[in-house]
Amino acid sequence: MSQPSQPSQPPQPVPVTEANVAQFLQGVDAFVCDCDGVLWTPQGPIENAMAALRALRACGKKVYFVSNNSTLSILDKLKAEGFPVEEDEIAVPATVIARHLQQAGFTKKAFVFGVEFFKNVLRRSGIHVVPEERTAALVDENISRCVEQIDLDPEVGAVVLDVDVNIRYIDLCSAASILKSRPQCLFLVGATDTLFPLPSEKIAMAPGPFLKLLEDITGRRAEVFGKPSPAMVTDFLQATHRFDLSRTVFVGDALKQDMGMANACGMQKLLVFTGVTRPRDLDSCPAELLPDFVMDSIAAFARLLEAHPGGPQGPQGPQRKD
């Protein structure tokens, strides 16, 4: 009697080492790098990360950047770390949402939950952002008075959600009312993370819980522009620079957001362990989110490429182990 077949094991990630880095680079034209957890952490820059990026460029590889973080200028931060980069080589939700609205010929007001940096990106693209001013005034703790302040501005044609550390109850009610009553109103979201990764027991909520709140109340589903959606790569970076996604490596530190984005774009997946993921997490990782390659840190490229200056060119790099 034949033995029952055993379920096949998913391919296991390949560590990038001195022994295979040359072959690895043969199948790569470009790198798309996440920033938080890959290039820096809340404690500061990751040592030799910038040296690694310079080494990749020196051997002829294009280097681009994506981040769900629209609260600061990634351009200024990279330049401050000594890495020259152009604005169109960086994609964050704010810039991609602004381009999307421009290309759609959007002329109405956008009701925006976001920090001032995020809002200013939209404003510079000609988007009329509301609420126009922050207010620290307390609301009268009377439900009837609260209802009176819910704003159903007829000129609002989009609700945009991202990180907003000054989010207000009345604004959430206004946005929900607009989305519920106007099916034609756009509903766009940048980052969908649930929490910000913190090196402590403290919890800091990201936009995810507020997104779920608005979706549950209104029955609407937002169009996502942050990771793991492919939009920052396919609609911005690849649309601008026309690189081959199959010969591009996405470097990230998160399984769902980063490896998920790489899957959605058809890119090769390289996971580093300087951010939110640890090697033990791969034991329980869904097969589709397993990376193709792993490294302790992107900084290792600075050392590995010293032995392989110039960067080999040629056919496909090493395959994952079955």
Question: Do 295 and 280 belong together in one domain?
Answer: yes
Determine the residue type at 310. G
273 pLDDT higher than 50: yes
- Mean pLDDT score, 94-120: 97
In a domain, 278, yes or no: yes
Q: Is 34 a catalytic residue?
A: yes
| Residues above pLDDT 70, as percent of the chain | 93
**Whether residue 173 is found in the same domain as residue 240:** no
283 and 201 housed in the same domain: no
- The answer as to whether 140 is a domain residue is no
32 part of a folded domain: yes
Using CA atoms, how far apart are residues 70 and 236, in angstroms rounded to an integer? 15
Given the residues 29, 34, 153, 281, select the one marked as catalytic: 34
Structure confidence at residue 42 as a pLDDT band (50, 70, 90): confident
Would residue 274 count as lying in a domain?
A: yes
The answer to the question of residue 282 being in a domain is: yes
The verdict on residue 74 lying in a domain is no
Q: What is the mean pLDDT of residues 1-19?
A: 77
Confidence label for 314 from pLDDT (cuts 50, 70 and 90): very low
Among the candidates 197, 224, 251, a domain finishes at 224
Task: Say how many C-beta atoms besides its own lie within 10 A of residue 317's C-beta.
Answer: 22
Containing structural domain, residue 63: 14-68+228-307
User: Residue 313: is its pLDDT beyond 90?
Assistant: no
Domains in the chain, number: 2
Q: Model pTM? A: 0.89
Instruction: Check residue 312 and give its pLDDT.
Output: 45
Task: List the catalytic residue out of 29, 36, 153, 193.
Answer: 36
Nearest to 236 by CA among 32, 77, 29: 32
**Residue 102 sits in the same domain as residue 209:** yes
Q: Are residues 104 and 39 in the same domain?
A: no
**Confidence band, pLDDT 50/70/90 cuts, at residue 140:** confident
Backbone angles phi, psi at 33, to 5 degrees: -110, 130
**Would you call 281 a catalytic residue per the annotation?**
no
Do both 186 and 232 map to the same domain? no
Q: How many separate helices (H) and strands (E) can be counted in the chain?
A: 12, 14
| Final residue of a structural domain among 224, 256, 283 | 224
- Residue positions in the annotated binding site? 34, 36, 67-69, 227, 253
- For residue 75, tell me if it sits in a domain: no
Residues 245 and 214 in one domain: no
Same domain, residue pair 106 and 187:
yes
**Can you state the angle between helices 93-103 and 116-124, rounded to 10 degrees?**
30
Annotated binding-site residue numbers for substrate:
67-69, 227
Taking alpha carbons only, the member of 198, 197, 265 closest to residue 227 is 265
Based on the domain organization, do 219 and 236 belong to the same domain? no
Encode pLDDT of 145-178 as tens digits.
Answer: 889 999 999 999 999 999 999 999 999 999 999 9
pLDDT of residue 311: 52
Domain boundary among 168, 200, 224: 224
Q: Is the peptide bond before 230 cis (omega within 30 degrees of 0)?
A: no
Any domain includes 3: no
Q: Are 249 and 31 in contact (CB under 8 A)?
A: yes
Q: Are residues 219 and 240 in the same domain?
A: no
Each residue's pLDDT tens digit, 48-84: 999 999 999 999 999 999 999 999 999 999 999 999 9
pLDDT reported for residue 4: 61
* Residue 213 and residue 256 in one domain: no
114 and 207 belong to one structural domain: yes
For position 151, which CATH number holds?
3.40.50.1000
